[in-house]
Structure 1
Amino acid sequence: MSRAWLPSPELLRELFYTALKIGAVGLLGSFVGLGWQAAVLALAVCLLTHLRYLVRLRIWFASPKQAELPIAGGTWGEVFDGLLNLQKRNRKRKRRLAAILSEFQASTEALPDGAVVLGSSGEIVWFNPAAQALLGLRVQQDVGLRIANLVRKPAFTEYFSRDDYSGEVECESPVNIGTMLSFRIIPYGNGQRLMIVRDVSDMRRLETARRDFVANASHELRTPLTVLRGYLDVMEPDCHTGGSLFEWRTPIAEMRAQATRMEALIGDLLKLARLESDLINTRQDVLDVPRMLARVEQEARSLSQGKHRIEFDIQPALRLYGREAETQSIFTNLVSNAVHYTPEKGIISVRWSGDDQGAQFQVADSGIGIEEKDLPRITERFYRVDIGRSRASGGTGLGLSIVKHAIEHLEGRMTIESEVGVGSTFTCHFPVHRVHDGASRQELRNSIG
């Protein structure tokens, strides 16, 4: 027999005392000839006592704050004492939870960013004053409503409806025209989510001003640089043997080299400004990637001048949907970097392939490698791992930054694996809806939407 069906020691003790009381009363009644009547009467009194305690317990359960439990002995006393102790522990736990909730609300109310607690269906449970100001929420009217019905922006709707909340999304404020908000959703608990809202308008205005300044300054620098290059072109014939400027040939050659480097820098700055701008031409085409990579291979071999072993493994029918100039800059920068930073007799392997996850463009080299501490910052503009070597190779420090922005425009991502003295592997991952493997152009446009 299972131990769960066995009576507890307390119940056995209570039954024993009850039987003892009934037996004693019945024994006393037998002296006057009323033994069984006295026993029945004692049993009735015991049942009424239990019924009274049950009624008091039912009243206490219905209203524990107003009703009080009676003072009793035996098993009922143990039950009542246990319930009172449990009630005290629950009160302490509630006070502790209330204090934690109060601290949470006080801390979130002090935040400059908006915080919105969402239920399992996306309904608003709670929000702080900053969220109220940024989103125009109202306590009485909006609590319980789905946030997607209040923030009706396509970018936010798409971000909110997906299961993956990695990253952030930016869109215009639903109440303040010209205010840009950044939304980030953090899942927690049983289907609940915390949404953080931040005003990024000043940051975006600063980025726009910086971008415009770089673009305008680069355009203005082109004019004096063109004049300088013109005079250098005129002076170059006189730098040869027997020329009037023969003694100045070394500084003039250095001036030409620096002018060339300045032109490359200005070109990269303008390209980066266009990539970061919202005014980029939105037209996209099916790109013949194998043909583009054939041109990149020729340029790489010309740049290497036979000093490296260069291998290209290209999937011939695999194409990509995007902008040719941006995509070409990805291929050219990664391959030229591999040539510049790989010692002589090193190996450079370029691979273009696709699978059910999308397409991958990979450049692996046996070059100098990159230290682990530099990998997170390698795509920042003007960040150089080895300043002397970068400048000696003619680099501008903008190549990988251009690659990063161009890949983002193609909805892809780049991963970097590197070991100092062994080499580096740069892999560009493009999503499956960007891959074109023979479908019609209209079908591809429809798949991208």
Structure 2
Amino acid sequence: MSTSRFFWRIFLTHVALIVLCTVGLSLTVVRGYRQMIEERFQSEVKTIADVLTDNARAVLLDQTAPQPSDEFFRIAAARDNQHHLFNADRILIASSVNESERDQILISNAFDQLNDQRASIEITINSRTRGPYELLLRELRHDGKILGYLQIEASREKIQDQLQNLSGITWAIVFAVCCVGVALSMIVVSRITRPVEELTRASQAIASGQWSQKVPVNTKDELGSLAEAFNEMSREMVSYINELQNQGQQLRANSERLATVLGGMVEGVIAVDSAERILFANKAAFKMIEFEGQRVVGRPYWEVLRNTDVQSVVREVLSGQFQRKREIVLPRNQSRIAFIASRLPGEPCPGVVLVLHDVTELRRLEQIRSEFVSNVGHELKTPLAAIQACTETLLDGAIEDPKHAHHFLAQITEHGDRLHKLIIDLMELAKIESEEDAFHLENIDIGIPIQEAIDEHYPVAHGKQISLITNPTIDELLVKADHDGIRTIINNLIDNALNYTPTGGEIKIGWKASEGNVVIEISDSGIGIEPRHLERIFERFYRVDTARARAAGGTGLGLAIVKHLCNYFSGSISVRSELNQGSTFTLRFPQVEEPNRLSTH
């Protein structure tokens, strides 16, 4: 038995229609048949009355009592009816029943009803006092004069029996028809609802994710066509879903690759939708805006980048502009961020992509480059101006005076040497920065170039009355570097110490092994460096005391060369200094173990 509400709705509707139609038809048939029996019964009674009327009129005219052999009693005996004959005074003169069974009350009631109707000469009364029967009372006239009355009481028992039999048969037929109709309705409705239920189950299975579904095609009617269309739809849907899944996998793979690419970019990327909410932000963007570790996706971009320039640019692009560029300064860390806002394809504009570039270091380098160009021009301008002045003075006649000519030529030579040294330092710095076969790296004993540089500066230190104190180690300390490069580093640092250490001062130089590194310290008792200059002393042409530096003959590139050489040899340099207390430069280079030591260990 199906539990489908659809089945029961149709089935019960069919059952109700069958019952209503069957009962209605049965009631109509019973009513018609009852009417037909009634009419036939009444016609039969009237026919008998017509036959008896003539005989009764003759009896009344003769004024003799009818005999049992007369036609009146013969006809009465042939019918299961009661016949009564009354004279004009309503006195019973003949009857087909015994006197004890006569009912004068009913007869008088019938006469009263006949008198009430006045124009009528016949009345029929149905009564159930003595059982079902029909009473017919008829006036008997002759020449307009009432001779008497004929009364017939016809029994209705046979009619009732016939009607009861008819009702029993009819309701039995109704019950049988209803049972057959219900059974047939169940079969028909099942054939209708079963395909619908199968389609429903298949649809629910598809809705739950079981895409491949097929329903049987049992008929050639519209339900069969619907089942075939459903199976075709299921096949097409499976094919379409498989295609969508493949595309989805490709899109996910592409999305993952894109996310990986964007995540690995140095530039920050932020995607904003048309509602000004962040759709995507990579790690670089998080770091730039200092929101790393916090949830920003789904938040309005102006909560993350609280900058009116960013807001105006994004809104301009959303309103129709294709691309806008702007540079902002973040107030938290004073970093400079350059960003490009580009609209996503589609109408209306679905969103904006912001590409962020941290240009803080770039702007700093641009400033350094600008200062470098300015410093180079200034450094070149001073000796060239001096040389030009001396040359013009000589051309104006000073060359004729040997004393002045010698002085001017000495000035030209001094400034020419300074220019030559400056150019050599610039070329050396460019060579180091190019990192293309600048030096030949090999394992060297670092003490050798250090000692050579110290020996080279002994005469200068002696002439300035500055003590050079060394604290060497007896161990062989190997580093991977270039001999001339290490010597250049030490020369520049000792030159720097000699230039800024007053007469009577001292310079200490020492080197040793420490925690896998070779540590070199060069300290002096010179004028020292103010703390605000310590971060910039390794920049090109940066001078703590410009006038004294030029007087000492420095080019302003020595420490820059030292810093680049240390980086090239995988080393580092640091400085400690106090004003008027001297400075200490510390160099560290990775120590290399000797091959024979490695083998013995």
TM-score range, shorter chain: 0.3 to 0.5
- Between structure 1 and structure 2, the one with the greater Rg is 2
Which one has more relative contact order, counting CA pairs under 8 Å at least 6 apart? 1
TM-score by length of 1: 0.46
